[in-house]
Structure 1
């Protein structure tokens, strides 16, 4: 009888310990973050729902793996109630599809290094996208298939909220109109970016206050492995505002200016019309387009 009682106590203690890892130490509510961080095989599945009229209805899933540094792990265990603004590094796999045959898949990694003094983002994706093209007047189905890879790195300036960075992006694909292979257009674009960024958000995943701004100059050239020579300037500003402890609001302005031998797939107004039919579009000039939308 004593042995049974002892076994029951030990079992209860084990269950309680197991449950504690699923509870937030501050409010006691269900929280899987510690389990995800402390298990190498733990990942966060994120369901994706697509309702964009440009590519149809569908969905997919992303699996995200988190990677803590030893210093982050030590701080978390010693101060479980401390809230940190430095996110752990993470890697992920993404797969999605829609009812018009669009399919996208790939993987990515986001590295947060040196106490957030260095940020890295990179990934490889393959896409088979069906979308309506309005450049001929009446809409014509356009299919684009290709591969896309990118690599960006940013360096924090003297412990401030400002970053200076650079990146490399490469895209290789084919475009076909109306399933007519005689219309096939092959395109290979490669670019090098130089960017200046301000990040004053209170949370990297779900911000409720602060602002984030980026100015990115992109140089597309045969020097980088592409087939076209053109330039792009992108200015992106996002602002987040807390309304109360349950609600927050956000707004965004994104402006794009292009020059040179710009392929139609890279034309910002075409992208705005094809992919963002509900956005407010303002043409400022032949080469300068401004897109206003909400986040």
Structure 2
């Protein structure tokens, strides 16, 4: 499920240091025997302005460890829209500007009854040689899946008692390269909405109406030379990873997930930037049907096109209209292969695209926020973006 958010005014602020006071000139000391008090701290709204251009900006709050409450407006048609709230904390290491520790807690509820809440943290240890990510969550997700024998879709609900995901990547001497272990543990109860379901094959129906424990350990290899981890303008973020769900790790079923993803950014002119996303995913073994990879493009309904193999690519072109504002256009294509289990049909080429705009909401962190308007096979949809649109996939 794709969730996009804009920023709201912060509820908590971090005080800015007072400006250094200058001594009064000698000829003024008798007329003003008492030195003036230190200037007061900036007012509420003054702290939301950038000292360089005077524009609305959250840099001073976020860079010093402040947080933002972020309303979450869910526009994904697959869950009938929804709303939520997140508190996001950012802290930049002054000696290593690219090392930004991010912490977030969030909760949401959607129009079809789905809900969830959880916490996430990404940071650095050992002087930046190790970067880690960990997230925990709980909730209920109702979606539709579209197997070959039910092209109109079958609705199902997964009740997650818990989900725990994490990674720890050690950086080599060339810090652009890193590698390390991955973990993914979940407990969920799945059920079918039999009210609109056709006669289902036993092998498919057997994935539902039961409690499932998944336990996966894996390994990832990463390359990252982006100029900014939140809203990149140059560089590449690429990784290969595999997660092995096995009984030895507490999983009820043995299956493996593979992923290769690449996100590249560059400037092609002073005001023009280009970005490209390449994504390939595969699943093998005794996997639950609803865990099969699906096409993830702006304008494509989440989970609409699934298969044992998935490949997609998206291209984005941005024009910097001013130091703060930019306009962009994007388009992508994806395809799934049903594989030898034949639960899903081959999707064929699926196209989607659209336009959007961004505002540089935190200049010192290089952070943008904005809106994308996309059109795909299911019609029109819009997304509220915080950071780059591909942030959820980039590692």
Q: State the TM bucket, normalised to the shorter chain.
A: 0.7 to 0.9
Aligned equivalents of 1:128, 1:170: Cα separation in 2: 16
Question: What is the aligned partner in structure 2 of residue 238 from structure 1?
Answer: 263
Q: Distance in 2 between matches of 1:144 and 1:271?
A: 20
Number of the residue aligned with 2:184? 169
> For residues 91-240 of structure 1, what are the structure 2 equivalents within 5 Å?
91-135=103-147, 136-137=149-150, 138-146=152-160, 147-178=162-193, 184-240=209-265
Counterpart for residue 280 of structure 1: 334
CA RMSD, 1 decimal: 3.5
Give the superposition deviation at 1:25.
Answer: 4.7
Alignment deviations for residues 106-162 of structure 1 (CA, whole Å, 9 cap, x no partner): 001111223432110001111211112223513222111112111211011113311
Structure 1 residues 23-47: Cα deviation after superposition (integer angstroms, max 9, x where no partner): 44544434333234446xx311223
Aligned residue number for residue 376 of structure 2: none
Give distance in 2, aligned partners of 1:35 and 1:216.
Answer: 35
- TM-score (normalizing by structure 1): 0.78
Contact 1:258 1:287 in 2 (8 A): no
Superposed, which structure 2 residues align to 1:52-67 within 5 Å? 52-67=76-91
Distance 2:86 2:74 in 1: 13
Note the alpha carbon deviations across 1:221-260, whole angstroms, 9 max, x for none: 0111111112222111111233566664422121122222
Sort the Cα spacing of 1:89 and 1:27 in 2 relative to 1 into closer, same or farther, 3 A: same
Task: Tell me whether 132-141 or 16-25 shows the greater mean CA deviation.
Answer: 16-25
User: Retained in 1: the 8 A contact 2:79–2:110?
Assistant: yes
Whole-Å separation in 2 of the counterparts to 1:224 and 1:274: 33
Q: 1:171 to 1:6 in 2, by over 3 A?
A: farther
- With 56-65 and 144-153 compared, the bigger mean Cα shift is at 56-65
Paired residue total? 274
Decide which structure has greater helix share: 1
Q: Distance in 1 between the 2:187 and 2:284 partners? A: 21
- CA–CA distance in structure 2, aligned partners of residues 17 and 58 of structure 1: 35
1:46 maps onto 2:70 in alignment: yes
Given the two structures, how large is their TM-score scaled by the length of structure 2? 0.60
Q: Which runs of 5+ in 2 are unaligned?
A: 1-31, 196-205, 306-332, 354-389, 391-395
Relative to structure 1, is the Cα distance of residues 263 and 93 closer, same or farther in structure 2, using a 3 angstrom cutoff? Answer: same
Q: Please report how far the alpha carbon of residue 20 of structure 1 lies from its aligned counterpart in structure 2 after TM superposition.
A: 6.8
Q: Tell me the distance in 2 between the aligned counterparts of 1:245 and 1:59.
A: 38
Q: Higher relative CO (CA 8 A, sep ≥ 6), structure 1 or 2? A: 2
**Residues 257 and 287, structure 1, Cα contact 8 Å, conserved in 2:** no
